[in-house]
Structure 1
């Protein structure tokens, strides 16, 4: 392989001596690439540089030669090589070293291309902001312009920033402030019923107080519980015959209270007969009044009365 490459160098020397080699935007015609190193053919064929060239060959890597038509040739098979196959290299001739990126691009040219792409992107962002006048677009454009940090870009950056400063944002979005809803409504006592064999509904007056009569109930009927329905989950503090107890009303607004919880020793766990209850009511003016205070989770409270009358 060494003999073939050196032979190629020697054959090229005669041509190279009559050809001007350019090495600005790309490596010039009459260049050999050995691995990650590249040499001007005149330099490569100089006996004084033989040791350096031989060392590059020993290091390994593909070998490409750029002919004097500017075409890259694979030195192994003699066929044309795609420019994309040329690796990044350090190019060397008798007077200078130049870094070239892959695909035969001068590193300086690559930087220029990247800079141009940045400028284009920033300019497009500014134009978009000028048209839309949306704050988000202005902010995005400003970030793109600020990113133009190279010295060569400074004037363009200043011009673009001036254009951004002239934009008057017309669709400023006012933040939506959601005010938490404060519960200020007290629970409402919707209905009251006594279970005396079957439900007996109490009558509700205009003030929201209730009254139920035992007039139609049989003396042997058993009064077993009191049912309340309210507008929301709450607690019910009920005072009856000097006793006060608190009960929990469920999410549906319902609670069932055994009579024994209301009347204490006046009733058994099974309840109290209507006849017995009427006997007690006769001693108490023919009725008893239950004071029911409903309180919700927010602390809102309302108090209503429930009158149980003998007649």
Structure 2
């Protein structure tokens, strides 16, 4: 084919328009026939297909263009062509190859160009649905699988549908995150009187500590708590209530002055002085400790400090 014919052909196929395809009948308007090959106009105009189109031109053969009135035009002389002059061709667009008999008749689909891509996309959609178990993903995967409609895809289609049928969709109305319903636990209590003095824990989770073995001159400086989780501790003692923050490790150290107020100094209170106060209060005081975690779960325990 000489340069004149090639130039004439290129001028024809550069006409931009929407191509219509009849799946079982004549080729759609806008079709370009080059020898025994035919192309959808959009496909022919796509720069990505330029090498393929040029190769068809070089291979030779008559060139026909079907105009948008459905009439065949001889690309060399621009005159109308008899439909009987259209050879048997393999028609190609972006997604299909279709075999057309001579005279633009009796089309049948012979293969799907993007079959592998369709199978891959459907498989990936099924895998996503299997992992997420979300209804929207299952629906999207089902649509992709149903689209695998040709004969060569039928077994894969059936296998993927079987996998979808096995998916148990999670209830997305209620979040699947774990809900914290457990209140904090008070693990241990100790008084710093020169050194830690551990309180005894009873079966109910309450604590009691005795000052009986401490020297009168020893200084009681702070109270230490350890809990099962990060929380706040609201402690009531001698009619005084204060709230303290328990750290991530479940620990908090509370100065005696924050517990006893004016009964103690910033340096604490001596055991002898504290026992004197306790003698006036029935030889013991009770601290009520309410622990509350971030989820709002709360528990209250008592801590008894006894003179003996």
- The two structures have a TM-score, normalised by structure 1, of 0.49
Find 1:237's aligned residue among 234, 237, 241.
Answer: 234
Partner Cα separation in structure 2 for residue 53 and residue 300 of structure 1: 73
Alpha-carbon displacement from aligned partner over 1:170-202 (angstroms, at most 9, x marks no partner): 999999xxx322211111100000000000000
Measured at CA, do residues 79 and 230 of structure 1 come closer, stay the same or move farther in structure 2, by a change above 3 Å?
same
Give unmatched runs, 5+ long, in structure 2.
none
Instruction: Indicate if the aligned counterparts of 1:34 and 1:62 stay in contact, CA closer than 8 A.
Output: yes
Moved more, 206-215 or 5-14: 5-14
CA 1:79–1:115 in 2, change beyond 3 Å: closer, same or farther? farther
Structure 1 segments (4+ residues) deviating >6 Å: 1-175
Moved more, 214-223 or 74-83: 74-83
Aligned positions, number: 308
Greater Cα offset, 247-256 or 147-156: 147-156
Pair 1:295 & 2:308 matched: no
RMSD: 13.7
Of 113-122 and 227-236, the range deviating more from structure 2? 113-122
Q: Structure 2: how far apart are the matches of 1:287 and 1:62?
A: 112
Deviates more, 1:97-106 or 1:262-271: 97-106
CA distance in 2, matches of 1:135, 1:202: 55
Q: What are the Cα deviations for residues 227-250 of structure 1, in whole angstroms up to 9, with x where unaligned?
A: 000011111000000000000001
Stretch deviating more after TM superposition (188-197 or 130-139): 130-139
Distance 1:93 1:188 in 2: 71
Describe the shift of the 1:172–1:99 C-alpha distance in structure 2 as closer, same or farther (beyond 3 A). same
Structure number with greater Rg is: 1
- Indicate how the Cα distance of structure 1 residues 262 and 86 shifts in structure 2: closer, same or farther if over 3 A, else same: farther
Between 41-50 and 277-286, report the one with greater CA deviation: 41-50
* Displacement of 1:104: 20
**Paired residues of 2:235 and 2:241 also in contact (CA < 8 A):** yes
The answer to whether the 8 A contact 1:22-1:29 is kept is no
Instruction: Quote the Cα distance in structure 1 between the aligned partners of 2:51 and 2:125.
Output: 54
Distance change >3 Å, CA 57–CA 123, structure 1 → 2? closer
Task: Tell me: CA distance 1:79–1:110, structure 2 relative to 1, closer, same or farther (3 Å).
Answer: farther
Structure 1 contact 39–91 (Cα < 8 Å) conserved:
yes
Match of 1:200 in 2: 197
CA displacement, residues 56-112 of structure 1 (integer Å, 9 cap, x when unaligned):
999999999999999999999999999999999999999999999999999999999
Alignment check: 8 A CA contact 1:12 1:30 kept: no
Which sits farther off after the overlay, 226-235 or 125-134? 125-134
Cα distance change, pair 274–100 in 1 and its aligned pair in 2 (3 A): same
Q: Secondary structure at the match of 1:109?
A: strand
Q: Tell me how far apart the structure 2 counterparts of residues 227 and 192 of structure 1 sit (CA, whole Å).
A: 6
